Amino acid sequence: MTSVVVKDVSLSFGAYDVLKELNLDVPEGEFLVLLGPSGCGKSTLLNCIAGLLDVSDGQIFIKGKNVTWEEPKDRGIGMVFQSYALYPQMTVEGNLSFGLKTAGMAKDEIARRIARAAEILQIEPLLKRKPAALSGGQRQRVAIGRALVRDVDVFLFDEPLSNLDAKLRSELRVEIKRLHQKLANTMIYVTHDQIEAMTLADRIAVMRGGVIQQLDAPQVIYNRPVNRFVAGFLGSPGMNFLDGEIEGGAEPAFAIAGAKIPLDRYGFDAVAAPGKAVLGIRPEHIALGDVARAMPFSADAGVELVEPMGSDTLVWTKLGGQGFAFRVEAERHLASGDQLRIGFDPARASLFDGQSGNRI
Amino acid sequence: MTSVVVKDVSLSFGAYDVLKELNLDVPEGEFLVLLGPSGCGKSTLLNCIAGLLDVSDGQIFIKGKNVTWEEPKDRGIGMVFQSYALYPQMTVEGNLSFGLKTAGMAKDEIARRIARAAEILQIEPLLKRKPAALSGGQRQRVAIGRALVRDVDVFLFDEPLSNLDAKLRSELRVEIKRLHQKLANTMIYVTHDQIEAMTLADRIAVMRGGVIQQLDAPQVIYNRPVNRFVAGFLGSPGMNFLDGEIEGGAEPAFAIAGAKIPLDRYGFDAVAAPGKAVLGIRPEHIALGDVARAMPFSADAGVELVEPMGSDTLVWTKLGGQGFAFRVEAERHLASGDQLRIGFDPARASLFDGQSGNRI
Amino acid sequence: TDLEVTHWWTSGGEAAAVAELAKAFDATGNKWIDGAIAGSGDIARPIMISRITGGDPMGATQFNHGRQAEELVQAGLMRDFTELAEKEGWTKFIHPKSLLDGCTLDGKIYCVPVNIHSQQWLWLSNKAFADAGVAVPKNWDEFVAAAPALEKAGVVPLAIGQQPWQTTLAFQVILVALAGPETFQKVFGDKDATLAAGAEMAKVFAAADQARNMSAKSNVQEWNQATSLVINGKAGGQIMGDWAQGEFQVAGQVAGKDYTCLPGLGVNEIISTGGDAFYFPKQTDPEKAKAQEALASVMLSPATQVAFNLKKGSLPVRGDVDLNAANDCMKKGLEILAKGNIIPAPDQLMSADGVTQVNDLFVEFFANKELSAADAQKRFAEIIAAAD
Amino acid sequence: MTPMYQGRPSRLFRNLNAKIASIPMILTALVIFVGGTAWTVFYSFTNSKLLPRASFVGLEQYERLWATPRWLTAVENIAIYGVCTLVFSLVIGFLLAALMDQKIRFENTFRTIFLYPFALSFIVTGLAWQWILNPNFGIQQVVRNLGWTSFTFDPLYDADIVIYGILIAGLWQGTGLIMCLMLAGLRGIDADIWKAARVDGIPTWKTYVFIVIPMMRPVLVTTLVIIASGIVKVYDLVVAQTSGGPGIASEVPAKYVYNYMFLAQNLGQGFAASTMMLLSVVIVVVPWAYLEFGGKRRHG
Amino acid sequence: MAAVAPAASSAGGLVGPSGPRPRRTFSRRNIFIYGTLFVVAIYYLLPLYVMVVTSLKGMPEIRFGNIFSPPVEITFEPWVKAWSTACTGLNCDGLSRGFWNSVRITVPSVFLSIAIASVNGYALANWRFKGAEVFFTVLVVGAFIPYQVMLYPIVIVLREIGLYGSLWGLVLVHTIFGMPILTLLFRNYFASLPEELFKAARVDGAGFWTIYLRIMLPMSLPIFVVAIILQVTGIWNDFLFGVVYTKPDTYPMTVQLNNIVNAVQGVKEYNVNMAATLLTGLVPLVIYFVSGKLFVRGIAAGAVKG
Ligand SMILES: Nc1ncnc2c1ncn2[C@@H]1O[C@H](COP(=O)(O)OP(=O)(O)OP(=O)(O)O)[C@@H](O)[C@H]1O
Ligand SMILES: Nc1ncnc2c1ncn2[C@@H]1O[C@H](COP(=O)(O)OP(=O)(O)OP(=O)(O)O)[C@@H](O)[C@H]1O
Ligand SMILES: [Mg+2]
Ligand SMILES: [Mg+2]
């Protein structure tokens, strides 16, 4: 059963269209991540679902009920914000109980729910404190708790972890994942951190300019991006892009300056019309030395820059005159100026149309 | 030849000591990164070097000259700030030239320098624009340019990339590295992003509470952290820490609940006194399956949570009842509940004293 | 019944006079609630008018005799006292008749005149002239001639306050005195612009020019501060209405001995019969209405008239009261009044709008030495031509 | 599954509470400011005297207005006073703020000293300065007593400079607040900008003039509004200090309006003058207000 | 070469300057700053000084001495007179009566105007609806309209709703004229609070008033302080409305002050006038001295973020 349905929703601020006839179906219990660059309309979409913004057109259904014109509180949603948005003058307990009290819930039921949320989120010792006396991670836990006590069907998260430092972020990420496993609620989660998106999501919706570009499981999006934008947006270090031309014929190949990459192993989506195209290959899919030589395509390259990242190392070279990076284990000691053989399997690459940027 | 020397520098705001008798020698041409958690005094130290804060005690030398009491502009330094600190109402060109004009430099020399900086940073097309019309990355480039035109000996960066999104951050990181290779100036760079620290630094100074914990090459700091703080601060996903006890005797071992990790291959720094200790091992140093079985230590573990991160996947298990994560390639398909064998080589681990947290 | 009475009588002599009215009113078993607003009618009048038009009228309020309240009456906001006036026979004892005319609109009487104020007085400080070693002048020309001597002795010849109405007053007094009452009537009453631009008036403007030179060093605001300069012998004289008398009295000075008064500047012994009158806004409460009647009667009763006017330094509106207690100057005024050498006050002849414009002109004239007498006259003629 | 399309509910009743709560504001805006203004403009074309009367005389009141020396003086005065107040308030306010921003000691004391006049009414301010500028008692006399017997400083009694005498008092009363606003603005500027300028070797004054002041636009706008609205309204101060004197040398439009409406009992004339004032306000303010609040941007 | 440069790094004595840069207390910069501030402070303090000093002198001393000299003989007579015996017309109870009237006028006016303006500002900042900005723009433009212009229309409005001359009429007038600037302040302040707080409360089911009372109000102390200070001083100091829209037994203190100062009886009693002036200004002055710091903070929060 679908939990949240967004149907042909448009939203404009004055003359500026932020969302354009957007459609989205979220099945019950799914963890959906909205991913996209800043300003693409993620928060706007979330706010529309929450009822905090009035849509210009279209409808929104939650649990099969048309809630387009419902008040936020009547939609069965809970929301967590990047800035925590805790009520600064209330204690943690006050923050958790505010909504319930407003709804006129019985005292003991409130206490029960707070106890449960506090236990799940391990914030029992903090209940009497004010938000100012909490660390960032604790604050965000309280903010999640505020959604939790309301016993809602759908959780909406708007970049809940962006204000935290890297370490806390990865910790809380795991906690949110665990929470989802435990509650099995529908969750819609906005982020522009692709690690978060990849690790948390059942499905990811990559947005750009108010339009969903691709909506699919993380691995699909990572490995088979539908267009160059999605390909470039996911992955860090980012995908390498090589500009070149497709040569048709019996043995299709991708020609760049000084090299030809055979495309017979590549699984074309569309017909491979000869012409300008872009080949994308992820840095971790590139092999070195002998392994490289065994690959369907390999070439010699000189090391330009070495970026050790601790767990592994990023190496910058040039291929056909174009910047090209690949990843090696941290143990591999390379230095600028080294010459080596690199190669990859075109089956793992992505080919995009030179004009439209769409996958071919 | 040393370029920047910080000698016994202390600094306090009122009764609060931010820097405590800090010493630092930076050889000419080195790229030194100051890394540490928020509030540890990184910016303060940088400001002392720049002359923007008066030290309470100690001396600062730049190029062998005692500049403790010099004005910032006379120290031969350029500085780049996290918030860019561009002069908003001047064009890019104005931003670059304002300092030079004030210093009374000849027109054509100014033009020459701006042209050079613009070329190096590839901001020629932006020269006539105002900062408000630039993207974050472009702004930061202009800010770097402002230091560049001044032709200084030492570049000081205070978290120059923190305000940028992940993609831009990694791009500019590479550019800064290239800039350093080209100019061969001394650069002191503050960050709390460890990827930046690892990739950029010739040496990293890890700070905490106004004291430098470890000052060494990135790989050394990554692989042989001097204490638990440094170990935990670097690396993402973070190092696994297992609490246990060192058992002395002929065959020293590290005992955790239900398992014993042999320490004969571990290179002790100090004498291995039996007692409480912490063993740290990085997620990427853990092997699976048959490889694991071949390791000096291996054990069975159940998969609790799988976090696919695109390029690779993080798997959470328990070892001796303690949370334990390891990294596998993205192709390896694991799911919660899977049982598998994990193992590692204690030679790659780090052992810390249970009390002091220092490496043993 | 409590009855609120607003007025702008706050200087020493005035306040003492008001006290007499209040005393007499309180004696009727009612209560006088004093609503004094300080700072001359200019400040007080807007407030009074706002309150009347705003629908929260006071029990009674002072206005200058004349056209100031005309429109309020026309709008039906003021109480008609014709009945009471007939019963008490106001027309019989109120003297001169013109006073009641000012209260009459379409044959109905709307106000109670309480005093006669004449403006045409020159008050001289005997001490100042003694100090300067010249005789106390007997008319305007002598006064002008004595000015240099006064100045040499460090005395300001002529004290004039900065408030607009004071300079206008000085001008009008000079006009009546030097050009005669007919000219005055023609100019202000008939709005004869040709005459206003003529040679007769040029003389007046020349005299005004002299007055402005003589008053150049007088920098006080209120009229009674100017009077106080005269009282202290710091100024030679002041052209001011008879209300200045109250100040001399409060200061314990004796007419003829300490100060001298010259009605009509000693040239044309004529006085205007302006004055203060009380208007009674319509009240809904019948009790209040009764109290209003009581107040009106009390104000006109002979005893009150005497007590009030002695304190105020003005002349009573009744021809039939005994004023033995009156001093030298007041007696002079009564004589002139008896002779019938009277003219109406400009307030009665001209609307407030016209008066204000004339005020503006003379304020400017007295302050701005650049404005020549001839130019001022030209502008004066224009205002007269446009006035209604 | 696509449930039935539900019609959009009436716009009027969304956020009903907010609309109810805004009623006082809407009423004030419509009835008082728009209604009152329209009423005033309407009657400015009549020859109303003491009471408003709808008997039209066309532009007569305006013709008379612009032929009246007193009005012309008032306009000239407000122009001088306005420009000077604007310039001096901004300059003095900014200089004081800049000095206060130098991490000085006794900042609170100084700030209180500069700000306290703002607590006093214009009536009080006017009286105090009238007293100090009085040539017989005040500064002039004191300096003369010190030996400079020819020293003359009597702005309130000299028609040519009286408006500056009023300015002195006006600035005394108002600059404290401007200083506070500017100080808040200065403190709001990113400290990194200052650091960058120091590293660039830019002298302090240059940093202020070329970098900081241009960055203070929002504060300057607020300040300008406050100063400008004060200028148009200046009335009490003049009344208390000079009553428009000497002569009509310190007349201001607001006083002209008041005098003609109530003293001269010529409402039509007063309204015509009001309308002229409103017109100038509208010409200056409306474009600004439109830019500042005219919709699009959320945080004004 | 190596001998010269790393002189510092080689262990050894201190070379050259060390520690904090020496700062002279009497540097030219400090002399300039404090000198200027001092001179300006004198300009600001002078009137207060003159008022205080004059109010403590007897009339003879005023006539012959100079206004800046301290009183030879301190007398509190003028204060007593100003407070309790100075006359206007027949009423000789000085300012004392006006004081309580002022309190009675100020308290409800301040309360009502701030209550309304803060709700307005809140509605404008958080619950924008079509047309709201238009009304608001009109309102702000209204801040520029001289009061004199509005005097007459308001007389009519008050008359029509039957509040003319009552205390509530005056309260209403103060509320109306306080509205533009206060609404602007509150709107800016509420807009500067994180919008997400408001959204969170809405998701929690709080309505317009609940959010205002439970979430916004507790966070708005600084701006309330500013509003209270502005209104208390503005209303306390008001003369025009006080005199036009009240009657003698409810005249506020400023009207009494005007009466005392302008009711000249012979010579101006400058000492009494000054004492009366000071007494009238006392309430706002005390408020400023006490809460100046909060005021500045609130100004920064409400005014600067334009
Ligand atoms: N109230 C508003 N008025 C006008 N434009 C708005 C408003 N709110 C958002 N926008 C615009 O709508 C677009 C989408 O905004 P939105 O906040 O949804 O972006 P986002 O994807 O959440 O970005 P971020 O990652 O920075 O949070 C942006 O271009 C923004 O400028
Ligand atoms: N002007 C100041 N007055 C008082 N304390 C200060 C001042 N500036 C900084 N501190 C304190 O000094 C400590 C160090 O600050 P610093 O800015 O150097 O930290 P940092 O390492 O740069 O942190 P971050 O990563 O957040 O920038 C902090 O605890 C801070 O609160
Ligand atoms: Mg967002
Ligand atoms: Mg920092």
A46: nearest Cα among A219, A210, A213: A210
Q: Per the structure block, which two tokens stand in for B308?
A: 């696919």
Atom of ligand 1 nearest to the CA of A44: 18
Distance D16 CA to ligand 1 centre (A): 26
Does the beta carbon of B268 lie inside 6 Å of ligand 2?
no
Distance from C-alpha of C337 to C-alpha of C275, rounded to nearest angstrom: 14
CATH fourth-level superfamily of B2-227: P-loop containing nucleotide triphosphate hydrolases (3.40.50.300)
- Position A202, amino acid: D
Hey, are the CB atoms on D261 and C50 less than 8 Å from each other? no
Which residue of C19, C38, C58 is in closest CB contact with E263?
C38
Nearest protein Cα to ligand 2, atom 26: B38
Enter the DSSP assignment of D46.
B
Using a CB-CB cut-off of 8 Å, the residues of chain B touching A237 are 170
Overall average pLDDT of the C166-190 stretch: 83
Quick one: CATH architecture of B237-353? Beta Barrel (2.40)
Q: What mean pLDDT, rounded, does chain E reach? A: 81
pLDDT at B34 exceeding the cut of 90: yes
Average pLDDT (E239-251) is 78
Distance B43 CA to ligand 2 centre (A): 7
Say if ligand 2 is within 6 A of residue B317 CB.
no
Taking 70 as the threshold, does the pLDDT of residue C40 lie above it? no
Task: Decide if E270 and D17 are in contact by the 8 Å CB cutoff.
Answer: no
Judge A/C contact: 3 or more CB pairs < 8 A: no
pLDDT band, very low/low/confident/very high, at C283 (cuts 50, 70, 90): confident
A68 touching D (Cβ < 8 Å):
yes
* E:204-243 residues touching chain A, CB 8 A cutoff: 204-206, 210, 214-215, 218-219
Touching pair A, B by Cβ (3+ pairs < 8 Å): yes
Ligand 2 centroid distance, CA of B40 (Å): 7
Return the number of CB contacts < 8 Å for C and D: 82
Alpha-carbon gap, residue B318 to B109, rounded angstroms = 65
Find which of A263-272, B306-315, D11-20, D75-84 is predicted with most confidence, using mean pLDDT: D75-84
Q: Exposed, middle or buried: residue E42 (CB in 10 Å: 0-12, 13-18, 19+)?
A: exposed
Which chain A residues are Cβ-neighbours of E196 within 8 angstroms?
81-83, 85, 158
Claim: this prediction has a pTM higher than 0.90? no
B and C adjacent (3 or more CB pairs under 8 angstroms): no
Q: Does E201 touch chain A (CB under 8 A)?
A: yes
Q: Name the token pair of A116.
A: 């449960």
pLDDT at E5: 40
pLDDT tens-digit readout, B92-109: 999 999 989 988 889 999
- Ligand 1 atom with the smallest distance to the CA of A14 is 4
Query: How many Cβ atoms sit within 10 Å of the Cβ of residue E48?
Result: 17
- Residue D186 CA to ligand 2 centre (angstroms): 21
Give the nearest partner residue to D19 out of E37, E129, E146, using CB atoms.
E129
Is the CB of E82 inside 8 Å of chain D's CB atoms?
Answer: no
Ligand 2 pocket test target in B9, B11, B18 with most atoms within 8 Å of CB:
B18
pLDDT of residue B226: 92
Q: How many CB atoms sit inside 10 A of residue D12's CB?
A: 10
Distances (CA, A) of A142 to A52, A73, A121, D125, D258: 21, 19, 8, 54, 61
User: Is the Cβ pair D36, E149 closer than 8 Å?
Assistant: yes
Nearest to B55 among E14, E19, E22 (CB): E19
Contact yes or no for C12 and E247 at CB 8 A: no
What chain D holds in terms of domains, given with CATH numbers, is 69-299 (1.10.3720.10)
Q: pLDDT (tens digit, 9 = 90+) per residue, E56-69?
A: 888 777 766 677 77
How far apart are the CA of B34 and the nearest CA of chain D, in angstroms? 19
Tens-digit pLDDT profile for chain A (360 aa)? 788 999 999 998 878 888 989 999 999 999 999 998 888 889 999 999 998 888 888 999 999 889 888 888 888 899 998 888 899 889 999 999 998 998 888 999 999 999 999 988 888 888 999 988 888 888 888 998 998 898 888 999 998 888 887 778 888 888 888 889 888 889 999 988 888 898 899 999 999 988 999 999 998 999 899 999 999 888 878 899 999 988 877 778 888 888 888 888 888 877 777 888 899 999 989 988 888 888 888 888 889 888 888 888 889 898 888 888 998 888 788 888 889 899 999 888 999 988 888 888
Within 55-94 of D, beta carbons closer than 8 Å to E belong to none
Asked if E204 lies within 8 A of A98 by C-beta distance, the reply is: yes
Contacts of D206 in chain B (CB under 8 A): 102
The CA distance from E215 to A46, in Å, is: 23
Specify the DSSP element, H or E, that contains A94: helix A92-102
pLDDT digits (tens, 9 = 90+) for B8-25: 999 988 888 889 899 999
Sign, CA dihedral D286-D291-D293-D294, equals positive
Q: How many CB pairs under 8 A join A and B?
A: 102
CB contact under 8 A, B235 and A194: no
Give, to the nearest 10 degrees, the angle between helix C140-152 and helix C164-184: 150
| Subunits in contact with chain E (3 or more CB pairs closer than 8 Å) | A, B, C, D
Max mean pLDDT range (B204-213, C103-112, C179-188)? B204-213
Per-domain boundaries in chain B: 2-227, 237-353
Inter-chain touch D49–C162, beta carbons under 8 Å:
no
Residue of A nearest to E219 (CA): A89
Give the ipTM of the model, two decimals please: 0.83
How far off is chain E from C41, nearest CA to CA, in Å?
12
CA D289 to the chain's CA centroid: 15
Neighbours of A183 (CB within 10 A): 15
Distance CA C34, CA B175 (A): 86
Smallest CA–CA distance, residue B187 to chain D, in Å, is 16
DSSP A217-258: -HHHHHHS-SBHHHHHHSTTTTPEEEEEEEE-SSS-EEEETT
Residue whose CA lies nearest to ligand 1 atom number 29: A39
B:D CB pairs within 8 Å: 66
> Which residue, judged by its Cα, is nearest atom 26 of ligand 1?
A38
Q: What is the mean pLDDT of chain D?
A: 82
CA distance C117 to C130: 30
Q: What is the pLDDT of residues B225-242, one digit of tens each?
A: 999 999 988 887 889 999
Contact B99 D201 (CB under 8 A): yes
- Cβ B20 under 6 angstroms from ligand 2: no
| Alpha carbon of D283 to ligand 4 centroid (Å) | 48
Chain A positions in Cβ-Cβ contact with residue E219 (cut-off 8 Å): 88-89
**pLDDT for residue D298 is more than 50:** no
- Report all structural domains of chain E as residue ranges with CATH numbers, in order of start: 28-75 (no CATH), 104-256+284-302 (1.10.3720.10)
Which residues sit with their C-beta closer than 6 Å to ligand 1?
A 13, 18, 36, 38-44, 192; D 298
- Across the interface, whether the CB atoms of E14 and B55 are under 8 A apart is answered no
